[in-house]
Amino acid sequence: MSKSAGELLLQRVHAVIRAARLFEEFESAERFSLRVENEPYMPLVIESWPASDALQGEKRRVLVAHYIQSGEHQLPDPELEMTDGGFPVRLRQTVCEVLETPVLWRDATTGQIMLNGRGKRDIAELLRVWSRNIRAQGFIEAASRIVSTEHRDVSAMLSREWRAKNPGDHSTTPRNTET
């Protein structure tokens, strides 16, 4: 059986993280964040954190993103949250405004897990292209040039900053804290 678009993207994300020698931290840190600079492309941001509401039995959530700087704001272009199995949870993109496509969520009233099948199908091609571009644009090689001890310090600092801004609140999706 072939891999889904989300699984292919997650596989590529894992390759980037392994190249940076940070896979253990990615899987276990309370708050993991990696930013891979690779000119002339927008930096690739990868984050992971423990899932507070497992929708598919996942232990962690993963965020993969590029951000556009607009004044003081970082706008997603795109930003995908997925399960640790590669199933999309939501996609955010900037097209004149920030658009969000929810794919998987828990209904607040019934507690049932809801699936937007059309939304999942609609974003599949974007995820396939993104997966190919991560390799073709050299993000894996760029990640291999990161000095891992330096990045661990940055990741730990980001984790402390996020926890300071969100004390005891792991119910909301963490956002990229880098500026």
Averaged pLDDT of the chain: 85
Name the residue ranges covered by the structural domains of the chain. 5-165
pTM of the full structure: 0.79
Summarised one tens digit per residue, pLDDT across range 90-131 is 999 886 777 889 999 999 999 999 999 999 999 999 999 999
Is the Cα dihedral 6, 76, 92, 58 positive or negative?
positive
Distance CA 4, CA 158 (A): 31
